[in-house]
Structure 1
Amino acid sequence: MAENGDARLRLIEAGNFLDRIGQVFGFCFTIVGRHLVPLSRSVVACATLLVLVGCDGALSIVDPAGPAARSIALLWWVMLVGGVLIFGLVMVLIALSFRKRAACEDDAGSARLWIVKLGIAFPVTVLLALLAYGLVIGEQLLPRESGETVIVRAEARQWAWNFSYDDLPGRTTQDVLHIPAGRPVDISITSTDVIHSFWVPRLAGKLDAIPGHVNTLRIEADRPGTYQGLSAEFSGSGYDRFTFQVIAHDETGWQAFLTGETE
């Protein structure tokens, strides 16, 4: 009997200990909840500023130099801003969840708010809006027939790009693509060995170069200049140095290239 009494006493003490632990954790979560929202906002703001410091450069997708790249950059900014706002909302909801519920609070109404509206309706609405916007952007990036479109063929291999031009039969360049500025250029992309990818971040999105298959990518440069391109597909040792350049000419420079006055 004494042993049973001791066991009950130990259980009571253990229960009291767990209650105290629960109170401590509850207090800590309350403190965190009070400061979580301003802290998270500061962290997100600082992290965003640090990231955006390196946004300029030859391979920056948020420093576009053509119509397709601008559409992609806009989509990126929309997703970033939307993600920050949703993250802030979630942090606010987490903080509110630690507040004591009012005595007259309607449990059924609270369940509908948290589960149906915030748990189902809100994510579905956000995802559908993002899907619709992404489809619109994707439609804008598709090649369209145009009388002034320049046709170029890009053939990848380990480790070089060969470019040929419909306006210059028999003329090829290696690792340097020449295009006219201010005109759409459709690039027919393929590969002779393994899967590579064609990517000029400031001019357009990335498209794979697949053996035995041709993918068409439209790029366009707003102004004359030199733009950096690369293959962003792991395709063997040495792929990280698999780069090329895109030179966008003004009208005079483009005509000089067509007539063979420049290489």
Structure 2
Amino acid sequence: MFPSVNPAFRPFKGLAAVTALAGCGGPFSTLDPAGPAAQSIATLWWVMLAGSVVLFALVMVLFGFAFLRRHPSWNSDRPVGQALVLWGGLVMPVAVLSALLGYALFMGERLVPRPDDGVLRVEAHARQWQWEFAYPDTPGALGTIDILHIPAGRPVDIHVTSADVIHSFWAPRLGGKIDAIPGHTNVIRLVADRPGTYHGKCSEFCGTGHTVMGFTVEAHDAAAYSARLADPQGQTRRTAPQDTASD
């Protein structure tokens, strides 16, 4: 028998549960996807969680088995004990981990941007401590600072580079993250399922201004996208995004 929980600590159990659940939401939650790339990442996370639960259960079974073997009534010569250790401690973990690895490679391969008709090019240039975006595929588009405009429902390849140190481009609800490296260009593909505003940030410590190096992604419908980029008003956001969902 395990000792009972001190009554003085019981209120903290509910607080811990609420805190854990609250971490699954918010503008930077990868578990609240708003695009196919982010959906693939969220699905992979849930699959990995399920696999870890299976492995944890196996470890607990073997842990209990180790205690049972010490009981006087247990016959240590029983073949079932060796079979349990073999299958539960070796065969099953190898099978589960191999399946998880295969699924992760399959999902990761789907996230790699490949040449495709209709993909829009946007350039993201990082510097301490802001993001500069250019739109070479959109005639008449003005560059933006800390605001990335994309058309909803259309794939966009973000060509990411840096002017000084290593930064990292990350819009959690739209896709994964990719490093911005001086002298090198990395590409990440984003798709927003619907119009809305999504938050992003630099996820690589880049100096004293790292905490304010955020940006917003504004997804527009096709009719409003070009007009929005040609509007000189509101093309710069110099404050950090608020921790509230806005889509």
TM-score category by the smaller chain? 0.7 to 0.9
Equivalent position to 2:168, from 197, 221, 227:
197
Distance 2:229 2:144 in 1: 12
The answer to whether structure 1 residue 133 and structure 2 residue 123 are counterparts is: no
SS at match of 1:98: helix
Corresponding residue of 2:221 = 250
Residues 96-131 of structure 1, C-alpha deviations (whole Å, 9 max, x = no match): 3212265555356533531x3233222222221111
Map residues 232-247 of structure 1 onto 2, 5 A cutoff: 232-247=203-218
Does 246-255 or 59-68 show the bigger shift? Answer: 246-255
Residues 133-163 of structure 1, C-alpha deviations (whole Å, 9 max, x = no match): 0101111101122221110010100001111
Distance 2:102 2:17 in 1: 26
Corresponding residue of 1:64 = 33
The Cα shift of 1:86 comes to 2.3
8 Å contact from structure 1 (residues 180, 254) kept in 2: yes
Q: Calculate the TM-score normalised by the size of structure 1.
A: 0.76
Tell me, which stretches of 5 or more residues in structure 1 are unaligned?
1-30, 36-44
Distance 1:55 1:98 in 2: 37
The Cα shift of 1:260 comes to 4.2
8 Å contact from structure 1 (residues 167, 258) kept in 2: no
Distance 1:137 1:46 in 2: 35
Tell me, which stretches of 5 or more residues in structure 2 are unaligned?
5-13, 236-247
Equivalent position to 1:224, from 189, 195, 205:
195
8 Å contact from structure 2 (residues 51, 100) kept in 1: no
Q: How many residues align?
A: 223
Distance 1:236-1:166 versus aligned 2 partners, 3 A rule: same
Map residues 40-59 of structure 1 onto 2, 5 A cutoff: 50-59=19-28
Equivalent position to 1:177, from 136, 144, 148:
148
Match for 2:211: what amino acid?
A: D
Q: Calculate the TM-score normalised by the size of structure 2.
A: 0.81
Match for 1:242: what amino acid?
A: M
Map residues 97-136 of structure 1 onto 2, 5 A cutoff: 97-99=66-68, 100=71, 102=73, 104-106=75-77, 110-114=81-85, 116-136=86-106
Corresponding residue of 1:15 = none
Match for 2:203: what amino acid?
A: A
The Cα shift of 1:174 comes to 0.6
Distance 1:59 1:141 in 2: 19
Match for 2:128: what amino acid?
A: Q
Distance 1:261-1:175 versus aligned 2 partners, 3 A rule: closer
Distance 2:177 2:153 in 1: 20
Map residues 73-84 of structure 1 onto 2, 5 A cutoff: 73-84=42-53
Match for 1:203: what amino acid?
A: L
Distance 1:226-1:72 versus aligned 2 partners, 3 A rule: same
Distance 1:73 1:127 in 2: 19
Residues 30-65 of structure 1, C-alpha deviations (whole Å, 9 max, x = no match): x45xx9xxxxxxxxx996764223322110100000
Residues 187-216 of structure 1, C-alpha deviations (whole Å, 9 max, x = no match): 000101000000000000010000111100
Distance 2:29 2:76 in 1: 51
SS at match of 1:171: coil
Distance 1:224 1:217 in 2: 20
Corresponding residue of 2:9 = none
Residues 65-121 of structure 1, C-alpha deviations (whole Å, 9 max, x = no match): 00000000011111122222322332233223212265555356533531x323322
